[in-house]
Every structure is written in C-alpha cells, then in structure tokens.
Structure 1
Amino acid sequence: MSRSGADLALSLLGGFRTLVDAAITELSRRGFDDVRPVHDFAMRAIAAGADTASELGRSLSISKQSAARTIAVLQERGYVSREPDPRDARRKRLQVTELGLEVLHTGEEIFDGLREQWSQKIGAGAFETFETHLTSLVGAQPVRFDTPGWMARDLGSRLE
C-alpha cells in the first residue's frame, strides 16, 4: 500500500496529538486539570529567560497581547509570578513558580511513561530504531519554543 507525503505528515501530527492528549489527561488525573499545551510552551520559555510579555511573545511567535493573556492565566493559576528585577526596581520579571515547576516535572515524567508504553507496544529494539530514524529525519532539536506560532499567529482565544 502506497501512502502519500501528506499521510506521513498527518501520522506524525497524530502521534504528537496522541501523546499530548494522553499527557493532558494524566496531568488532570494527577490534579492539574487546568493545564493546556500552550501553558507548557510558555512556562518553558519563561524558565529559559523570556521574562516579559514582549519577550514571551517573541519566543512563542505570538502577539504581546496574546502573551499577556497567557501570563494572566498562568499567574491566576499560580504557575508563574512577577518578581521585582534586582537590577531595576521599576521592572517586574516573570518567573515560573514552584507549582509551575512541579507541573513541568510531572509532565516530563508522564511523557517518559508514555514513551515507555510505546516502546513496549512495538518492542524496545524497533522503538529505538524508530527514534534513531526520526532523529535523523527531523534533527536532534526538531521543535523550538515558537512552535505554536507557526500554526496560528493569534492564539489568544485558545489560551484558556
């Protein structure tokens, strides 16, 4: 059976969606029922240094207004905070809170478990070969933090 390039792209996207949906379901089961994929992208960008709405917007390839809405949601839920900048008292810097770090670490544990489930499903050797081939095709760092931006430039209505 011959498949098209579009079928391959949809299968890869389906794999991503399957993993993300399972992770979100498990996060909810573990008490984090208010976390969405974009929240993970945003918290990772903030942890990596995007400590203002403008910087977060650039990092995620979304508008400053969308970044501000994301920040407001994350603050309301206790995942990020604004702290005074030690170098400039007029400036407030974003930081991921302990709760936010707990969500990120819990999500990583869940993804490790999902990876293991996939490995068991097709066999460890076949899965290792799959990962090796996939890495050779997409690179060792296939996704940047700005990934949400390439699908839709204004994510504001989908952040909550």
Structure 2
Amino acid sequence: MDRKPGLLMAQLLNRFIWFDGALQKSLDERGHGGVRRLESMAMIYVHAGVRRPSELARLLGVTRQSMNTALRELEEKGLIYLEPDPEDARCKLVRFAPEGAAMRLDALDIVLSLEAELEARLGAQSVDDLARIVSADWGEAPVVRKQPAKPQGMKAGKKKRA
C-alpha cells in the first residue's frame, strides 16, 4: 500500500469521525440522540477515568469554557453529575449519573460492535496492530521549528571554504 506523505493526520481524523459518526447515528437509532461530538468525547474520557474538567479540556484541545458548557449540557441531560472535588474546593469532578446508565451501556455495546465490524472488514491482526500503535507512548508532541535557510550560492552537501 502506498502512503501519501502529509496525509496521515487527515486519515487518522477521518477514521475517528467514522467511529464517532457511527456511534452518534447508532445512539440516535436507539433513542439516545442529542449528544454533541464534544460531549461524547468527554464521556469517553470520563469512562477512561479522567474526572477533572480542566484535564478533559486539555486532552480534547478545547478551552475550559467550552468544556464547562459541554459538561453542563451533559448534566442537564441527566448523564453526569458535577460534584465538589474533596481535594480542591475550587474545582469540580465529573461522575456518571445513574440515570444515564442505559445510554452508557448502549454506547459501550455500539463501540464493541464497531470494533468487531472493523475486525470483520480489516482482520483481527490489523485491528490489534492499530490498537497497539495508537496505544503506544508517542511522547510529548514536538515543536517542529523551521530550519534555517541556506546561504545563497551554497549547494546541498558543499561547505563554503574559508
């Protein structure tokens, strides 16, 4: 398979949208509509154990204000509770609301079914490889700085003589 350099980021994003789009449509089909992408992404992280709104905002690359708005909407929908953080009275922690258990169970069932669908389409080894690659520690995101321009008149690989 040929890989076009510079497209990996778009391809990863497209595959995420495939997953999330299927999740959203399936939740709608099961009567759990009305959850925005940011809300469903926050719930995935809460399921993974992230409970601080500031950490959710950082992981999802949104402002704290956007995250707080999404969390308030999830709370209004009866899917989460925001409760005081016992370690820091200025902060809140996210906890799943029992009233949202049916939706969470349906979402988990859908995600497991989507993973099984991927195995059927791509093969179990490919899905295992994908999971291993995206679960690997990639380290901190690097800052790629612009390389200094070469002085005019110099060719690549040639050094200027003194």
- Which TM-score applies when normalising by structure 1? 0.64
**Residues 105-147 of structure 1: CA deviation (Å, up to 9, x unaligned):** 322211221222233335xxxx1221233245x243579xxxx
Counterpart of 1:140 in structure 2 is 135
- The structure with more radius of gyration: 2
Measure the CA separation in 2 of the matches of 1:59 and 1:3.
Answer: 28
Listed as ranges, the gaps of 5+ residues in structure 1 are 144-160
Counterpart of 1:79 in structure 2 is 79
The AA in structure 1 aligned to 2:135 is: A
With over 3 angstroms needed to count, the CA separation of the structure-2 counterparts of 1:15 and 1:65, relative to structure 1, is closer
- Which TM-score applies when normalising by structure 2? 0.63
For 1:85-124, what aligned pairs fall within 5 Å after superposition?
A: 93-122=93-122
Counterpart of 1:152 in structure 2 is none
| CA positional deviation for 1:64 | 2.1
Measure the CA separation in 1 of the matches of 2:92 and 2:3.
Answer: 52
**Residues 7-33 of structure 1: CA deviation (Å, up to 9, x unaligned):** 444344333222221111011010111
Question: Which segment is superposed worse, 59-68 or 15-24?
Answer: 59-68
Q: Report the 3-state secondary structure (helix = DSSP H, G, I; strand = E; otherwise coil) of the residue aligned with 2:34.
A: coil
Counterpart of 1:50 in structure 2 is 51
2:129 equivalent to 1:128 = no
The AA in structure 2 aligned to 1:60 is: L
Q: Figure out how many residues of one structure are paired with residues of the other and give that number.
A: 137
With over 3 angstroms needed to count, the CA separation of the structure-2 counterparts of 1:19 and 1:142, relative to structure 1, is farther
Identity, in percent, stands at 26
**Residues 70-123 of structure 1: CA deviation (Å, up to 9, x unaligned):** 12111111111234567888976432112434333322211221222233335x
